[in-house]
Amino acid sequence: MEFFSESDFETRQFGAQFSKQLKPGAVVCLTGDLGAGKTTFTKGIAAGLGIKYEPVSPTFNLVNAYDGVIPLYHFDLYRLQSTEDLMGIDFDSYLFSGGVCVIEWPKIAYPLLEHYYQVQLLYEGENRRIIIEEVRK
């Protein structure tokens, strides 16, 4: 799946569209440089899932939890060093909770994941190419 976005608004829309295929337990790994739109895309996912609140960047909190029919757990793992650190915030509890996990800076999470969506947000000048792949190990 691929999208071409020319604005934050479109990135958000694509996030909402994409969210329709997310079932309980789904994991979404977002990669992209700073400013590529990872959190914007996540706002779209949240809207698509019917979450009442708009997600904000979890850089400091590590994870933000949002209530919903399917709860949303929004991670930013930039500040953690290793998979062991990730275990230390009880990541597995979120992963197996039946909610949707959206992970920014997912490198240390990959060893714990078997099935996830890989979403790459790539700069193309002012615009973004959003490439989505389903990964099953």
Judged by the rule CB under 8 A, the positions of this chain that interact with another protein are 81-84, 86-88, 90, 92-93, 96, 107-108, 110-112
CB 84, min distance to another protein, A:
4
CB 137, min distance to another protein, A:
11
CB 116, min distance to another protein, A:
14
Residue closer to another protein (CB basis): 90 or 133: 90
Strand-by-strand arrangement of the 115-124 sheet = 2-5, 127-136, 115-124, 27-31, 100-104, 72-76, 63-66
- Conformation bin of residue 132: beta by default, left when phi > 0, alpha when psi is -120 to 50: beta
CB 68, min distance to another protein, A:
17
Give the integer Cα–Cα distance in Å for 49 and 20: 7
SS3 breakdown of the chain: % helix, strand, coil, rounded to 5? Answer: 30, 30, 40
CB 95, min distance to another protein, A:
8
Measure CA 97 to chain center.
Answer: 16
Give the integer Cα–Cα distance in Å for 117 and 40: 17
Helix (H) or strand (E) holding 130: strand 127-136
